[in-house]
Structure 1
Amino acid sequence: MQNKLLTYDEVLEETKENKRFLLLGNGFSMAYNKDRFSFTSLFQSAVDKGLIDSKSPMYEIFKDFDTTDFEEIIKNLEISIKVFNAYKILKDEDANMIYTDAIKLKEHLVDIITNNHPEKITDISEEEFEHSINFVKNYDSVYTLNYDLLLYWTTMKLEDYKDNEMIKNIKLEIGDGFSDLENDNKDYVVFTNSGKNSRYQKNFYLHGALHIFDNKYEIIKNTYSRTKKTLKEQTLENLKKEIYPIFVSEGTSSQKKSKIIHNAYLNHCYRSLKALGGKNSLIIFGTMLKTNDEHIQDAIMESNIKKIYIGIGSIDKTSELDAFVEKAIKHDKKVYFYDYRSVKVWR
């Protein structure tokens, strides 16, 4: 067991001979603004803010279905209206009440996920982006558990900086699996990067992201460059068309994994994590991979990655990861710890 933490520079030095992969948790977003991104439960946040009354039928439905997934409840409310109407057992006023609650939930969802989020990329300073770009540029691929747009915006800026030669020695390529195909005149691009083309994808949103939507028969990505609309405007417009953002925000590990394997995009990203291998290294920043992320632990263990570096705040924190270390040893992997405070993420 280590008796002192490595510095981040020492991690980069130790891993320079082979490929590096980065796994980000909420600490990446909290490093930008702790107040904006410190909450962990969308459902509890909605209850705390009074958006969902703990004595309301809406609250009871969440509890009865044993879920905190807004999309699941919204769809169930809308389906129930159709079923009750078909059996002619629903009065107009009852149908209106259920329909109104479904609309409210959509509005709540938009409010919760956008109110604390920077409205546009220009809200973040160039100096802050320089730090975040210098952080991610050292990796061959980046995997993230976050569904906010900070990594997406960072990679957009990285492309600009690379083209203008403002930052040197960039390893990370800008590929997220979305492309134009025949949609040149659309407001969105489509996820096409699977199978033999998967090698071109370098950024993976393991729990989805606010700019990625399920358009029933295709996975799409909205872009500000095409719509000139903010995240909030795009999200609200899509929800009105029953196009939902793909993100896994909460729940147990098994609930998260169930949602992942039933979505083509999420499952592709998850399988990519499991396929990492060789003499390469995985650097983890901003997450301790606790019980509600055991599915991510399992994917890492299933991979052929041999070295894992985890960022923590003090040497005493290593005991909280004893179970993870034991699991890693059984899978012929070595775990090292570094001081996450030695990383200049945003400033």
Structure 2
Amino acid sequence: MIYQWNEIKCRYSDLLLLGNGASRAINNGFAYNNLKERAAEIGIFDGGHQDLFDRFETADFEYVLRKLWQTSLVNEVFEVEHHRVQDAYTQIRDALVRSVRAVHPEYAVVDQQNTIRNVYNFIRQFKTVAALNYDLIVYWAVMYGRDLRDGYEVKDCFTVRSAEGNRFDSDWEEYRAPYRDANNHVTLVFYPHGCLSLVKGNSGLDIKISVRNELNLLDEITNRWNDAGLIPVFVSEGRSEEKLESIRSSQYLSTVYFEALTQPCDSLTVYGWDFGSQDLHILKALKKAAPNRVAVSVYNNDEDYCERISRVIRQRVSLDVEIDFFHSDSPGCWSHPVPNPV
């Protein structure tokens, strides 16, 4: 049986995991997971760049940029001429920026019919939200609820101020406590695969790019990438093993993966994620979280999908876990509105 979200939501309030299907449900401009493919399509990738990706056997921009950055540091120590490495770094970073701009819709396009408000109303129901996508939808939703006094507090734990920007507080569990009212419900938001707003500063530390006006966020991000030469912190593509290697290279991603995702939870809700082999590392983390119940969104009454996902969950997460499926277009679910929204 495939339920409506309202029929089961009272039993699912702990961990919410969002996959690429969540973004595509809002705007098909988010369909591109492989930014390297997109860069080639719009003609901003030359043969030398392609050779680098092939040599490292990856499609992950962040991984290649990190390798070039490390090479430059080594060359400086040994006083080796490295202008070609620096040029490649700049060109590949620019290709990434242009690719992101090519695929990422503007705020006004995404927020048609109060979409961001609907997303906020959905994610605030959960104790923890883990967004696997690099896009800004969830970040915009967090910004939407920032100044509301609605009995909810949605936080991302980037509160440690530095000259470069806000850094993640490693004591993230302390943020479970409300700021404003002891009765407020608190939601903590994490990005296990990074996000466009997260960058590695010149200090080597992960920081978040922030603005007061959500309409300017995408422009501010791409400007900071270009002007400050910052490396984006997100895992854009690759096999599960490659993704885990990128995660280990980041303090923020490591903390999210090894601590937040593995924190024991009673219930897990999955929206728009297909449990693919490229994300086996996420399934390993969820196994440690050991949920008693799992709810999974289903598109277009796909019974074959339900059977496949049930097998994967029982094989990879828990043999005894209870599994519910719900329609991905249910009222009140993700970006779909509810009557009389707040």
TM-score by length of 2: 0.82
Instruction: State the partner residue of 1:317.
Output: 305
TM alignment of 1:59-74, pairs within 5 A: 59-74=50-65
Residue in structure 2 matched with residue 179 of structure 1 by the alignment: 159
Q: Is contact 1:187–1:226 with CA below 8 Å preserved after alignment?
A: no
Q: Tell me which residue corresponds to 2:32.
A: 39
Q: CA–CA distance in 1 between the matches of 2:146 and 2:113? A: 14
1:47 is paired with a residue whose SS is: helix
Say whether residues 1:147 and 2:134 are aligned partners: yes
Structure showing greater radius of gyration is 1
User: Are 2:4 and 1:7 equivalent residues in the alignment?
Assistant: yes
The one-letter code matched in structure 2 to 1:11 is I
Q: What is residue 18 of structure 2 aligned with on the other side?
A: 24
- Confirm or deny: 8 A CA contact 2:107 2:214 kept in the other structure: no
Task: Supply the distance in 2 between the matched residues of 1:139 and 1:87 (Cα, whole angstroms).
Answer: 51
In the alignment, the residues of structure 2 paired with residue 118 and residue 213 of structure 1 have an alpha-carbon distance, to the nearest angstrom, of: 20
Alignment of 1:8-157 (within 5 A): 8-13=5-10, 15=11, 19-34=13-28, 36-53=29-46, 56-77=47-68, 80=71, 97-120=84-107, 124-125=111-112, 127-157=114-144
Aligned partner of 2:339 in structure 1 is none
Aligned to 2:183: none
CA distance in 1, matches of 2:4, 2:287: 24
Cα distance change on mapping 1:284 and 1:195 into 2, 3 Å: closer
CA distance in 2, matches of 1:264, 1:70: 18
CA gap of 1:199–1:218, structure 2 versus 1, over 3 A, is farther
2:314 corresponding residue in structure 1:
326
Question: Within the alignment, does 1:241 sit opposite 2:218 as a pair?
Answer: no
Of 190, 206, 213, which aligns to 2:192? Answer: 206
**Conservation of the 8 A alpha-carbon contact between 1:187 and 1:223:** no
Alignment equivalent of 1:346, drawn from 320, 328, 335 = 335
Identity of aligned residues (%): 25
What are the ranges of 5 or more consecutive residues in structure 1 without an aligned counterpart? none
Specify whether residues 205 and 227 from structure 1 end up closer, same or farther in structure 2 by C-alpha distance, changes over 3 A only.
Answer: closer
More displaced stretch, 131-140 vs 289-298? 131-140
Secondary structure at the counterpart of residue 153 of structure 2: coil
Shift in CA distance, 85/210, structure 1 to aligned 2, threshold 3 Å: closer
Tell me, yes or no, if the aligned pair for 2:154 and 2:189 is still in contact at 8 Å. Answer: yes
Measured against aligned partners, the alpha-carbon deviations of 1:51-101 in whole angstroms (never above 9, x if no partner) come to 223xx12211211111222233234445556767887886xxxx6555433
**Would you say the 8 A contact 1:187–1:227 is kept in 2?**
no
Task: Please state how far the C-alpha of 1:318 moved relative to its aligned partner.
Answer: 1.6
**Separation of aligned partners in 1, 2:72 and 2:130:** 39
Contact 1:121 1:153 in 2 (8 A): no
Equivalent residue letter for 1:159: R
1:258 and 1:209 map into 2 onto residues whose CA distance is: 17
Q: Distance in 1 between matches of 2:73 and 2:255?
A: 33
Shift of 1:174: 1.5
Give the match for residue 278 of structure 2. Answer: 292
Within a 5 Å distance, the mapping from 1:274-285 to structure 2 comes to 274-277=262-265, 280-285=266-271
Indicate the larger mover: 132-141 or 143-152. Answer: 132-141
Would you say the 8 A contact 2:154–2:188 is kept in 1? yes
Secondary structure of 1:103's aligned partner: helix
Write the letter of the residue equivalent to 2:171. S
Is the 2:133–2:195 Cα contact (8 Å) retained in structure 1?
Answer: yes
In structure 2, the residue matched to 1:192 is 169
Question: Distance in 2 between the 1:116 and 1:60 partners?
Answer: 24
Question: What one-letter code is carried by the residue in structure 2 that aligns with 1:9?
Answer: N
Equivalent residues of 1:285, 1:311 under 8 A apart: yes
Where does residue 243 of structure 2 map in the other structure?
256
Alpha carbons of structure 1 residues 121 and 140: separation in structure 2 relative to 1, 3 Å: farther
For 2:146, what is the secondary structure of its paired residue? helix
Residue ranges of structure 2 left out of the alignment (5+ in a row): 178-186, 337-342
2:260 to 263, 272, 286: 272
Q: Which amino acid aligns with 1:46?
A: A
Q: Residue 2 of structure 2: SS of its match in structure 1?
A: coil
